[in-house]
Structure formats: structure tokens, C-alpha cells
Copies of this chain bind each other. A is one copy, B any other.
Amino acid sequence: MAKLRVHNFTITLDGYAAGPNQRLDVPFGDGMDELHGWMTAAMEKDATGVDAERLNRWSENVGATIMGRNMFGPQRGPWEDESWTGWWGPNPPYHHATFVHTHHLRPDLPMEGGTTFYFTDAPIEEVLDRAFQAADGQDVVIGGGAATVQQYLRAGLIDELNLVIAPVLAGAGIRLFDNLDGALTQYRVSEQTSSAAATHVQLVRR
């Protein structure tokens, strides 16, 4: 049975997925420079250890990705132009169908390397169906951000939530564990492990 997973979703010690004032040159907001420090180190060639092992799980057996518009870009409201093609350059690291939740639709956007961005304002259940079809038996991953993860968590649709707690304090911003209407009580912690740089936690359904 194909799963809906989240990987390496990184929050601060005080629970924030993003700081205040997210913008083009500071996509995770103020005070978050070190949030993904563990990931930068784990992405180095020949990196080993807990962080690298957890990072590599992200791409295992994944056939489609879902993200919120805030993860696709810093723009809010109607597109002023459609020249923005994501944060990732001409060859995004997805290499498969990638669905972007947005109220402001755009034409399908095929990129180098197999990624195609599909912009959709459909309900999450319908988008998830399309993603599972595109994944063709493989799993689907939600890339982020916090609001998108919360939406799927509230609906009980996430099978496996792999979180990372970074040794960073934000003090303000967007919390992952907000707006969940008690949905978290359906989940339990199935794994918890640390490197010197981060703590990795896996949530699964009870």
C-alpha cells in the first residue's frame, strides 16, 4: 500500500517551521539561518552518519511530491508574471510529478530532469488521488510548508511524518504543531535519534 510521507521537515527547538518575515532572499524568515545546517552538512559528498542516512530516506520509493505555494515561491496573491519556476533552478530535485496547492492557477510547468509542476486549487483529497496515480505504486511525499503539512495532518492523511528538531531558537514565526484540532492524538512517536547537529523523530499513526 503506497504511503503519504513527510521527510526532514525541520523545526526549531521551540517548534517553528519558519521565522517571521519570509521573503525572497530569506525564504525561511528571520533567525532561521541555521535551521537546515544539519542538512547542508548531510548533503556533502560522502557524508555518512544519522543525518545523511535520514536525508537519503527522502527520495526512496517516491513517485510524486505535493507542496504548498509558499514552498514553491515567495510570492503571495495573483502571479505578477509566470517567470518564477521555483527555488531550485532549471533542474529541480524532484524528478517526478509535483503538485503545487494554490488559489492562483498557472499552466503545467515541465522542467529539466523529469519534474513537472502542476498547479491546482482542488481539495487535498483529490490532489492526493492524482499524486498517487502519478506515483504509480510508489509513495507520495509532502515537501511542505507547515500549512500544507497541517492540512493533511488534520485530515489524517499522512502515514509517516519524519521531523527534524534543529538546535535553533526562533522565538516567533509559524509553528508546525498549530491548527491541528487534536489530529496529533492519532499519531505516536515511533523513532527518535540524534546526531550532534539534529534530532530526528518519526511519527506514525497509532
Contacts and interface: CB of A to CB of B under 8 A. Distances in A.
A169 B192 contact: no
Nearest to A191: B167
Contacts of A203: 13, 169
Taken together, the copies of this chain in the complex come to: 2
A103 interface: no
Interface stretch (A62-70, A120-128, A129-137, A193-201): A193-201
7 contacts: A13-B163, A15-B177, A167-B189, A169-B185, A169-B189, A171-B182, A193-B194
A92 interface: no
Interface residues of A, number: 30
Interface string A5-44: 0000000011100000000000000010000000000000
Given A167-B192, A170-B184, A199-B199, 8 more contacts: A13-B163, A165-B165, A167-B189, A169-B203, A172-B182, A192-B194, A192-B196, A192-B198
A187 interface: yes
A31 B189 contact: no
A166 B167 CA distance: 16
Given A14-B177, A177-B15, A171 B185 contact: yes
Given A13-B201, A165-B165, A199-B199, A180 B188 contact: no
